[in-house]
Each structure stands twice: as C-alpha cells, then as structure tokens.
Amino acid sequence: MIRIGVDYYPEHWDRSLWSRDLDLMKKAGVTTVRIAEFMWGLLEPSEGEFHFELLDDFVKMAGDAGIELILGTPTNCPPMWMYRNYPETLSVERTGLPTETGIRGHRCIENPLFRSFAADIIDRMAERYGKNPHVIGWQIDNELSANHCNCRECTHKFQEWLRRKYGTPEAMNKAWGADIWSGQISDWSQVQTPKGQMYSYGWLNPGYMLDYERFAAESTAGYIAFQIRELRKYVPESVPITTNACFCEHTMDFHRSFKDLDIAGYDNYPGTKIPDDPDVVYTTAADLDLMRGVKRKNFWMLEQLSGPMGCWGEMQPVPRPGMLKGYALQTIAHGADMVLFWRWRSAVKGAETFCQGLISHSNVPGRRFREFADTAKTVHELQWLDGTVVKSPVAILWGFEQFNAFKTQYQSPGFDYRDQVKRWQAAYASLGVNVDIIDEEQPLDGYRVVVVPAHYVTSPVTAARVDSFVRGGGTVLVTCRSGVKDKDNGCILSPLPTAFRKVCGCSVDEYDPIGKKDVQIAFPDETLTGSVWCDLLLPEGADIRARYASEFYAGTAAITKNHCGSGTCFYMGVCGKRPLMKRMAKETLESAGVPFIADLPDNVWVNTRESGDGSVRGQFIFNETDREQSFMLDGETMSLAPFEMKIRRIR
Ligand code: GLA
C-alpha cells in the first residue's frame, strides 16, 4: 500500500478538536498519522509517575476511525525534571557549557542515566502499543544528528573509541601527523572533543576531525541500536522501525544509522522560492534518491512540506499552487511508499507557531488543505504502483566520509560536496534517466554508468571496484578532488587522482581553485562553461575530450576519456555549470548505450517506477518550475501547469 497522511500533535489540542480532526482526516483520505515524538513530559510528568491516558485515548479514537498510526519514541524531549534532578543528562556545547533547556534535543544520548530513563519510557510505550493492530510502525527519536556532545561521558567514549582503533597513542599520533603544531599525546586522557570556536574554520587537524566525525556517527548509530533493542522487546518483527533523517549542522551518517532499521525515513522540505539563477539546482530529488539508496529499497517520507516555514528563520513564501501536490508525488516517483505532511494544523502556541501546517490559524480548511485532499485522492488512485521500485542504470557514489572531510577542510569557493552530488543527479535526471545514489562502498553490479564525484578520502575498496567495473565493460566518470586523501585524512604523496590514475589514464599536473569565476571549456563542436575548480591534466593514454579555453592554461586538457579493459573512464577536471554537466552525462550514457530523452525543458523531470518483473511500469513527468511547460514526449505534446506531476502507466 502507498500511504498518505499527516503528523499530528493531539497533546496540542483540546480533545473537542480530536474527533473533528479525525473525521476531516478520513474525509480527506488520510490513511496514516504519526504522533507522540515529543510527548515525554506528558507521559511522565514526574520521575516514575506515568500517565498514558491521553495517548491511550487518541490511539483508540484513531484506531476506531480506521486510521493507522506511527508512534515516535519521545526521547528527543525528556521532561524538565530529568534535567533539573540530573544535570549530567544535559548535552554539553562546544563552549564546554551545558545546553540550556527550552529548545529540544538537549539530552546527551550517551549519558547512562538518560539511557535508563529512555529505556523505561520506550519499554512502557512498546509494551502498551507494540501489538496494537493500528500501530503500523515506530519512529525513533526525531531528526537525530551525529553526536557532537562535549560532556565528560562523550569525551571518555571518544577516547575509548580512539584507543580501540589505534591501540597506542603513538600509533594515533602517527596517523594524525600530530608532530605538526605539537599535537602529540602520550595518554588517551589528553584527547578532547573539538571544543572552541575555531572548530568550523578548518584550524584543527583533519585526521583528528575525521576520526571525531566517525566517532560521532557511530555514537548516534549506537543510540539507534539501543532504541531498537528496547522496542523489539515488545514490538513484533512485522512492524517496521525507522527514524526521520534530515540534513542539518551535524548530519548523521545515514548508511550507518539505518543499518539495523527496517526502512529508511526522511523529512523533506523543498524551498518554496524558485531561485533566479538557472545554475542553482533546487530540486530535492537527489535527497530522495540518496534516501532510497540508503537501504537500496523504497522508503517512508515522515515529514513533507505543508505550508510556509518559519520559526528557525524568517517566514518563507507560501507554497505556490501545485507545489504541495507536485512535491509529494515527486517523493513517490523516487521511491517513497508513504508521505506524511508535517503538519495537520499550524500550532497556536510554542516556538513553531509560524511553521505552518495544512490548516492555518483561521481553523478554516483552505487552499492548502484542498490541495492535500486532492493529493490524497491521487495517491489512492495510484495503488497500482504498490510494490514497484525505481530501477536505475546510473549510480552516483556518495560517502559520508567525503561529506565530513569536506566540512572540516574547505576547498575552492563554491565547492560543496552535497551540491556537486545534487548537480550530477540533476544532469542525468534532466535526460529522463533514473539515478541511484548509493554508499560508495556498495557493489556496482547491474549499473551501466557510475559517477564518482569528488571521492576525496580514498577508499581502496571503492577504487578497486571502480577499476574492475570499468575493465569489465562499464562506464565511469571520476571528477576532480578524487584520490586526494588517505584513510587518515592525510594527502597521498603521488600524482592525482592517485588510486584512479590508471583507470582514468591521466594525471593532474597542477590545479587551480578558481572559485566562483567562469572558465571556458572547449569541445571540438562547442564551448561550455565551468567554474570552481580546474585540474590541469596530463593525458597518460586517455584521449582529450575538452580543453581549457581561458586562463593561463588555455589549451591544457580539462576532460579526458580513457578506454580501459572493455570499458571507458572519463575524468572531469573541472566543476561544470549545468549545461557542461548535462553534456558529460549524455557522453557517458552514449558510451554505455543507455537511452535518454535529449530535449526536456530545464527542471522538467521524467522518471519511472516498475515492478520486479517489469509488467507494471509507471512514468512520472514533473514540471518543477513556476511556469507552464509544453514539450514533446514520445511523439506526444505534453503541457504541464506549474509544479504539475503527470503519472501514466506505460509498457
Ligand atoms: C523538523 C522537525 C519537526 C518540525 C519541522 C519544522 O522536520 O522534525 O518537528 O520542527 O522540522 O521545520
């Protein structure tokens, strides 16, 4: 079943509204509602005193109304008594001071006392509702991030983690290059978590920082594993457990975090203002492809844009007509089997008063509500797509190693790893080709084209896989900033792209981090624009596809193509503007013999979902622009309104 629903906070509303809301939800076509992820204060108002009446009543009412529930473990917001009675449960900021209460997520996820209170509330909830037939899934905590707490417990855990990894301080000193700036330690207690304001400015040792990010990622994954263990004492295996991932200041490693979870979950808030610069990739489709890649299967959207966002910053423009529906259907196009709109009603109190829901403060269901109901109607008509998946000829390799390493050592102005991945996704998707974004250490079997964008911290596993994939007949595109670092986050003392040099058939003579300046890239038949980074290439067996046509290195190779074994490997030494990336996407698809649609308008996307045996196939055509678009597709004229998604069954 493909589900549609909302996030709801029964604790925010007078009970007299519950039945009206549930009634309206039913009429609007809601199948599923997520609740309870911030409810701990009500469930345990003082230590050891539990009140489940409110939750019991709502679970019963929703169940009686035929609505399925996803329950959140409420551990993001422990009650105030816990912090006041046990201040050590508070997380500690980079300043070394405890986080002050009043926002949310102030708890230290490693603190043993917090863990024991958390285990207790989770167990009680799981025991009470785990076998309730209306509870069809569980969400762990809320929008978890990598654990950047600086308390004594976390510092000790980090020291232990390093001890396990390196065995001796000397081995760690060597790996980090700690002789530089006298960073050597002689005892584990001398290592601290990265405190202080310099953290984000690249002043700290990159070996240390990358290890710290690895530790922080493992700590969060460990916390998830702890919650799974508690839930599974009572929740049957048939009921999936997930969590709602998001990109944030300290994004958790999705691949590690979801390893033991049953299904990937995500929160999707596309921007409501379309940028004026045509070079900006504003679609969130790459995030969706990445989430599908996390477990290499369909996922759940646990929060989806409902209204103008506010609270964390100034209010954003209200979603334009068509946006709510188009963006929700886009998640299904990319493999979501559930979309829950955050949130049913706008809050009237609290910090998020202006993070708007489907029903605004007027309490009169209006345009956004009607668009939601229309979306729900469409989703109910789409059940023929149940069981279908996205099959992709193209894989883009993503690594949280890279994401974290780039966070602590900046490259050229304008270079952003996630943005580069998004831009490659858009380049292929603009040609109507499905794209998987997978963990860089996953097998590559079954793909025809593999893109390796900025594989900076070199994984020998990935390098070996890429090499044999090409030799076996595949097509690969490797980009600049690949092969730069070793696993200790130190530079490899060899010409770039080091581990990829052979398969690419070229090396980098020198590079120019030109930043946000245009550079001309000449192909035999046209000249396109690049920017941000320029590798000056020396072909070592590869053909030159394009040369720089500006700067002091005009005439030098910028893009090469190497035949290696029975396959082909492109090396792209420059970051492209969108037309240049699209051209390279086309060249790689042509080289691999993958069909594509050449002439879609910009920001109009076509992709497919199909059943395992290919007998059911749905095509999604999405106009992700604020203008009407008319174009030819399969010999037919297609006209799409702004943000309109057309879904049709094809053979
Ligand atoms: C996140 C959170 C929600 C809410 C929304 C609003 O996605 O999970 O609780 O704060 O953001 O932006």
What's the CA-to-centroid distance between 36 and ligand 1, angstroms?
13
| Ligand 1 centroid – CA 332 distance (Å) | 20
Element (H, E) at 227: helix 206-232
**pLDDT score of 312:** 80
Tell me how crowded residue 152 is: count the other CB atoms within 10 A of its CB: 11
Determine whether 641 is exposed, middle or buried from the number of CB atoms within 10 Å of its CB (0-12, 13-18, 19+).
Answer: middle
To the query of whether residue 143 is one of the catalytic residues in this protein, the response is yes
pLDDT score recorded for residue 638: 97
197 pLDDT higher than 70? no
Residues with CB under 6 Å of ligand 1 are: 142-143, 267, 303, 309, 342, 352, 355
> Could you read off the pLDDT of 214-225 as tens digits, one per residue?
999 999 999 999
Residue 191 has pLDDT above 80, yes or no: yes
Q: In terms of Cα–Cα distance, which of 305, 302, 295 is closest to 266?
A: 302
Largest CA distance in the chain: 76
- Position 452 scores a pLDDT of 98
- Residues 6 or more apart whose Cβ sits within 8 Å of residue 238: none
Q: Are 250 and 216 in contact (CB under 8 A)?
A: yes
What atom in ligand 1 is closest to the CA of residue 244?
8
Catalytic entry in 37, 218, 303, 610? 303
Atom of ligand 1 nearest to the CA of 267: 7
Query: For the chain, what is the mean pLDDT?
Result: 97
Is residue 170 flagged as an active site residue?
no
Res 497: pLDDT: 98
Nearest CA residue ID for atom 2, ligand 1:
143
Q: Of 8, 143, 300, which is best to mutate to test ligand 1, by the most ligand atoms within 8 angstroms of its C-beta? A: 143
DSSP states of 500-517: GHHHHTEEEEEEEEEEEE
Could you tell me the pLDDT band of residue 313, with boundaries at 50, 70 and 90? Answer: confident
List the one residue out of 630, 623, 634 whose CA is nearest residue 274.
Answer: 623
Residue whose Cα lies nearest atom 9 of ligand 1: it is 142
pLDDT band at 198 (very low <50, low <70, confident <90, very high): low
Tens digits of residue pLDDT in 587-639 = 999 999 999 999 999 999 999 999 999 999 999 999 999 999 999 999 999 99
Give the pLDDT score at 199.
62
Q: Distances in Å between the alpha carbon of 125 and those of 108, 161, 225, 230, 514? A: 21, 32, 17, 10, 55
Q: Given ligand 1 and candidates 352, 354, 356, which is best to mutate, with the most ligand atoms within 8 Å of its CB? A: 352
- Residue 240, pLDDT > 90, answer yes
Q: How far is 454 from 409, CA to CA, in rounded Å? A: 13
Q: Please calculate the CA angle 407-409-414 and round it to the nearest 5 degrees.
A: 75
Tokens at 147, concatenated: 């654990």
Give the separation between CA 420 and CA 423, rounded to whole angstroms: 5
Ligand 1 centroid to residue 139 C-alpha, Å: 14
Share of the chain above pLDDT 70, in %: 99
- The pLDDT assigned to 103 comes to 85
**Using CA atoms, how far apart are residues 386 and 384, in angstroms rounded to an integer?**
5
Of 425, 468, 428, 422, give the one whose Cα is nearest residue 445.
468
- pLDDT tens-digit profile of 245-258? 999 999 999 999 99
Residues 6 or more apart whose CB falls under 8 angstroms from that of 311 comprise: 351, 352, 353, 354, 355
Find the catalytic residue in 143, 153, 230, 610.
143
Sequence-distant (6+) residues with CB within 8 A of 241 are 137, 138, 139, 140, 227, 228, 231, 232, 235, 261, 262
Contact 490, 520 (CB under 8 A): no
First-to-last C-alpha distance (Å) of the chain: 22
Cβ of 295: how many Cβ atoms within 10 Å?
17
- Which residues contact residue 156 at a Cβ distance below 8 angstroms, ignoring those fewer than 6 apart? none
Query: In DSSP terms, which residues pair with 46 in a beta bridge?
Result: 49
What is the best residue among 7, 142, 243, 311 to mutate for testing ligand 1's pocket, by most ligand atoms within 8 Å of CB?
A: 142
Which two tokens mark 333?
A: 């196009």
Q: Please report which confidence band the pLDDT of residue 201 belongs to, taking 50, 70 and 90 as the band edges.
A: low
Positive or negative CA dihedral for 335, 477, 441, 566?
positive
